[in-house]
Structure 1
């Protein structure tokens, strides 16, 4: 991976486009400074809970060249820098108890507490 001039750009907001239950197209604007909480599908086949939650810290984009042994190909990359949230295990949630899940920040000492995420994964 080659990033020209080692330059990465920060962006203040992003829009997530979605289709509503009645087939209308809508979007939400997400700003890490004001409303940065997001969720993504877990991606496992048999999860106890279908989502991961995160607090978005920043939005970045960059131009990059990817070289897989042949001719380098130019790409535009957008990433979210996030701090992951974990479900509180001792809190009951779901339809039976009519409660939403509670989450808390993953401890900073955990190597997976922070990460990068493709904006296309945000629900």
Structure 2
């Protein structure tokens, strides 16, 4: 983000020399309780969602195009995640890639990714909701940090009660709320019918009916 690189969904690695070009002002990170997302509805109206890690924490964003030769890679237009923390920090960036010498505010979401269950296709063709589940904690992309500007809106994620709970995806962790008792549902459904705007996003006539 500091070098104006376009977000493509990949978690890039940076070396110690690149880390040394970034400093946090006063070594501080600020925690926030809620985030408000402004978005445009399918009928060109303005709307707002509130993201709260305690009670309404699931978000959706556009899935970047992938070219890894996986037949299922680009089969769904959205990615889903659960917000664990909302932060902002003031950073200074130096070096030849720096765009500004002054301190810059950066807003950051700490998230836990959902993965799509490709063994149970969903959508209007199959007359089923899309099914997702948390990515195993051993995977390098189980957690991440996200620019809030990438968030489309909040989404409605429903537990699949029939498949019960599991502790396989993540050991005891602060990534869960206390009432979850260190357990996750095995699967979740994506609520495509949460409201009319959400429905239009899956039908294909989102903003401006196009």
Q: TM-score range by the shorter chain?
A: over 0.9
Describe how 1:42-57 pairs up with structure 2 within 5 A.
42-44=63-65, 47-57=74-84
Rounded Cα–Cα distance in structure 1 between residues aligned with 2:28 and 2:60 = 28
Aligned to 2:128: 99
Gaps of at least 5 residues in structure 2 are: 1-21, 67-72, 153-210
Q: How far off is 1:22 after superposition?
A: 2.3
Structure with bigger helix share is 2
- Asked if structure 2 preserves the Cα contact closer than 8 Å seen for 1:67 and 1:73, the reply is no
Aligned residues: CA RMSD: 1.6
Gaps of at least 5 residues in structure 1 are: none
| TM-score (structure 1 length as normaliser) | 0.92
User: Greater CA deviation, 110-119 or 66-75?
Assistant: 66-75
Structure 1 counterpart of 2:62, from 24, 41, 46? 41
Aligned to 2:32: 11
User: Greater CA deviation, 13-22 or 42-51?
Assistant: 42-51
Larger Rg: 2
What are the superposed Cα offsets for residues 85-117 of structure 1, whole Å, 9 maximum, x if unpaired? Answer: 101121121111122211111001111100000
Aligned to 2:89: 62
Number of equivalences: 123
